[in-house]
Amino acid sequence: MPQSRFSGSLISPKVDLSIDLGNPFLNHTVDAFLKIGTVAATKTVAEETYGIVARGSVSSHNFEKSLKKMCKEGAYWGTVAGVYAGVEYGTERIRGTKDWKNAMIGGALTGALVSAASNNNRDKIVMDAITGGAVATASEFLNYLT
């Protein structure tokens, strides 16, 4: 009977990119945009590759559609991350302290801004602000555990 094995390492490589624009605010914002935008584009590549393989058809139309979606998702999530990083950094500078409250304020403002830019109604904007604040705060608390 054939057997197969899987082996690998769960240690992820660390890739760090440093861009110096001469301003810490811009450095944080651009860094977040590039890192999260790359993650979003990579996620889209994986999803689209699976979809193409599942359908069994590879064409230039599918490739073009996938490329457009990859750029759109990368730009969208990169922008959201850049706004969040900028707001959190600005909050830290204004408050003069680095703690979880900066993440909460940054997440709430980012959620509200992204929702308002999407032409949502007031209730949806408030819900997105609450969600953004909660997710950012939870993420900050998880960072304290490690």
Per-residue confidence of the chain (146 residues) as pLDDT tens digits? 555 454 545 566 666 667 788 888 988 899 999 999 999 999 999 999 898 888 887 888 888 988 999 999 999 999 999 999 999 999 999 999 999 999 999 999 999 999 999 988 999 999 999 999 999 999 999 888 86
Single out the residue of 96, 141, 97, 133 nearest to residue 114, CA to CA.
133
Specify whether the CB–CB gap between 48 and 70 falls below 8 A. Answer: yes
Single out the residue of 139, 136, 77, 140 nearest to residue 106, CA to CA.
136
Specify whether the CB–CB gap between 96 and 125 falls below 8 A. Answer: no
pTM, entire model: 0.79
Alpha-carbon torsion angle 74, 132, 85, 76, nearest 10: 20
- Residue 104, pLDDT score: 95
- Residue 60, pLDDT score: 84
